[in-house]
Chain A
Amino acid sequence: MVTKSLNRRSEFFKQARKQKSLILISIPYFIYFFIFSYLPLWGLTMAFQNYKPQLSFFEQEWVGFKHFQNLFTDPDFYRVMRNTLGMSLINLTLSFVTAIGFALLLNELTGEFYHFKRVVQTISYMPHFLSWIIVCGLVSGVLSMDDGIINELLLKLGLIKEKIHFMGKPELFWWIVGFTNVWKSMGWNSIIYLAAITSIDPCLYEAAAIDGYGRFGRMWHITLPGIKSTIIVLLILNAGWILNAGFEIQYILGSNGLVLDVSETIDIFVLKRGFGRSGGFAFGTAAGMFKTVASTVILLLCNKIAAWLDEERLV
């Protein structure tokens, strides 16, 4: 027994000696992350205080879990959680499917379409550079009842009889957010998949073609498996962001009374509740802490699932 653990320990040190330069390179990173991300965590103590900014740490009044109690007993909290998760799931699904699909289709454009493909790619990144304020202006313009192009189009095509009041319909709001996200980031998100696709061995395609796979067969059997690890890593990472459904678009487009019930996310909730009230900072910190913990749990869960499925793991 003793010898075994001794062996393991000496094995460890042997390894460590061999990896000296790797370890040396790592040390500054440990320190860097510690200082810039972990050191400020003392601020989380605010969540347990009746925090007043003008008082020093030792003068603060400690209130235990009061802010968490307030958070979990607030009926609005469950409403905004529902909205956050709902919009997050829609965003996640739509943005993954469209970005991957877009990358796959782009990848199909070869030969004489090379330049066309480059132009399409370049243009598809553009919306990413527009600020949310501008994007929201565009969305409400396009969906307007007044002279919005979508309503005009649907009318002309005979799909609807009278114009739809898009921005006033609660059942449509999540989807408007979802598709706006798609519009804004589909091209941009596809970059990473396109980069991954370039690392697939071209011989595989030739072999598949010889085996009689068609265009879509090759897409399905070669390209998708080739970028699988990228997809899975991104899925796991994004799962950790599931409580970040966005802020600006809901804040700008969803602040009217007609859709307020479905538009408010946890971030908006925190901002509204924290606004200038006693315990505002503290309450916000508590909510932020809840978000961190929940995100971490989800992240680790997804990582475990990936491990079970014997897929690429994040950590």
Chain B
Amino acid sequence: MTVRINGADHDRPPRPGQCLRTYLREEGCFGVKKGCDSGDCGACTVHVDGRPVHSCVYPAFRAQGRQVTTIEGLAPPDGLHPVQQRFLDAQGFQCGFCTAGMIMTTAALDEAELADLPRALKGNLCRCTGYRAIADAVHGVRTVAEPGDGPAVGAGLGAPAGPQVVTGAARYTFDVDVPGLLHLKVLRSPHAHARITAVDTAAALAVPGVTAVLTHRDAPPRYFSTARHEHADEDPADTRVLDDVVRHAGQRVAAVVAETEAAAEEGCRRLRVTYEVLPAVLDPEAAMRPGAPAVHGDKITGHRIARAADNVVGELHAELGDVAAGFAGADVVYEATFRTPRVQHAALETHGAIGWLDEAGRLTLRSSTQTPFLTRRALAELFDLPPDRVRVLTGRVGGGFGGKQEMLVEDLVALAVRRTGRPVKLEYTREEQFTSATTRHPFTVTMKAGARRDGTLTALTLRVVSDTGAYGNHGPAVMYHSCHESIAVYRCANKKVDAYAVYTNTVPSGAFRGYGLGQVSFAVESVLDELARRLDLDPVLLRERNIVRPGEPLAAPGDHADDLTIGSYGLDQCLDAVRTAAARPAGPDEAAPAGWLTGEGMALAMIAAGPPGGHFADAAVTLLPDGRYEIAVGTTEFGNGSTTVHAQLAADTLGTTPDRIVVRQSDTDLVGHDTGAFASTGVVVAGRAVLHAARALRERLLELAGPGATGLDPDGVIRPHGRLGLAELAASSPEPVRAEGRWAGSPRSVAFNVQWFRVAVDPGTGELRILRSVHSADAGTVLNPLQTRGQIEGGVAQALGAALAEHIDIDAAGRVTTAAFRQYHLPTFADVPHTEVVLARTADAIGPLGAKSMSESPFNPVAPALANALRDATGVRFTELPFTRDRIWQRLRAG
């Protein structure tokens, strides 16, 4: 019996335990995505005999004799299905990994379901958009701008990859058919801390199809950090590809490489590992006490660890002014301790890479990464290769959120490729995302602040303990960053910080959207709210009395990079916007149910547009023979939308339209260097490099057209004696007409965000309902309003997940117990309220065409704004995230 896929019979029988998703992908339907692999996220949705199913939990054998329709077969041969067109018209996607499933689901909804999307879409998760754009798409609301009329910059144009995303043709990391591919699976530690004393590989090697087993004996001796930074010395060198000590449950013990995933898994099960179990420490405060097990006690010097014997990987102790005097002069002082849990990025595309040796024997990796160039550099160092013997590239990346600013798989894949000489794939399971990737750093922040009667801050102190887990990747950098913009945004003469990034025997923390600021802002903004209450001041007014103003220094204790300035200032406008929103009376759909408590709260955040110490981007723009242009840029596209903006920037500079711009990106073969798509740099660094390259090419084209050339239009160079066609110009040049641009990421400006909520709380059940949500942002000149709004909505939604739902739990043995989307609740359509977005009008002196970044920052003020609204409604200060219904009820009962 055959499986009929998109009208064609497929004779190859499925394997007995195979799910339909894998079978379809093996038959070439790469639009069918592997997201959760457990029937929860919907990225794999297909139709079987016309009915939508989650193909990851549909037995493939059962599809025999049935008709299967995938995203590739939804549309008629020469066009788009109406739902695909609507997702384009509303840009109902960012990374696009969930989009095929969203479209297949939407296409099967009946009228009743369309009228109740919160229920109808409960089986489809989107981590990027916050669902507003998806709702618009489902309802046929067109928000995207028509290309062509007027300047591209400032228009809400769609993403260039949109047509591929909605048809399932976009190629993500694993959407390639590699002949001869081997599969790598990892045996992971069951212990939080243990020494591996023996690994018996014989039974594993005897499994048919197993080609290699890799243990710490096969790994390079070198220590590195999985964190990717322009300057490697920002992170401790504490990690080996495979180590003889495991420091958290879930750490790599050994890898099995085999002809099939099944054989690799069986090989892992047959490895016999002998462990000497070592004492473990799971709590950062306990880890700093004398006598605690030292997680990296073997690395006292030479590894860039501040105090390895005390488990302190990095610390900051500094004071500005005199806080004791400041508190003495305060009319009111408030102090409290705040906690934020481990949170996972939950990008729908898991970590993973496919590696091979190209025709020239060069090590090549196609990886789900935000940092192809820095990963190439790390691999070259690790394996003693010249950089030009390593190539790293990406496909379209299915979400990042900071989680892919790490090298979590490429080193092991490279080791396996070099051992076997064959292509090797390692694709994380969803469980491994939770147990063996990275998380947002859990923080404990004790903050004390004093103010005078008029609200003026007199002193503030922070004691910050961040849990970096078993490895120090991003630990010190996140800690430093967390204590900067969060308090530098306030003028206060006396500030003191004591901060520690601490090792524990738990899953490592890493880079996460906001990079520490959100955790500390949760404390800072909650404490300021309490001060305002105690002084009977409007919390917005208290902020206005203390916020930094244009031209003033951005001061925080400690040695922070001095290249950060206020390139444009819209914080006042942002505060005005929420004051206006708060003054507007509640609409009929914003009423609280009888008996519920209501309240309002706000919080603000500032973020640097780019990291300290430089962030580099090379770009090139080339005139193509047909008169179009090609941008080459190193930065990665994972739904951040930088590609759209790069095309807009180049189009206006070159007098053409974005549809005549081709963007090639995210490949170490394309340009000299790119630090990576992180730290809010896609527009302000890579975009600026593209702008410089486009301007240089414009000059070059005018020069080539001869004296008197005045400008460019889509067809050619305008000259007094007639236009010189671009194709003609390209043909007349002996070599490609090309120009390069570069930006080094310094100086840097700052962006601002303010969030405001009105909430209702049912004291009888703990249910919290958001009645109105307003977010104002200063992104400088807005290059693409549709995308900016999308980034803000997505950031607010992800932050609402962290504020209301998400927490990774670790048991007494150090094992992660929330390792699937059933246990780790991501915001669904039903969980995310509409957020009204207000954009300040400023023009930045530093960013390209006046733009600033707006990618990480919308996340940061959300949790404290919600905490402040909860406080207003209930009278109780909530100091620990997340605010789930059971915890709210419990706190209210406790009083």
Do the two chains bind? no
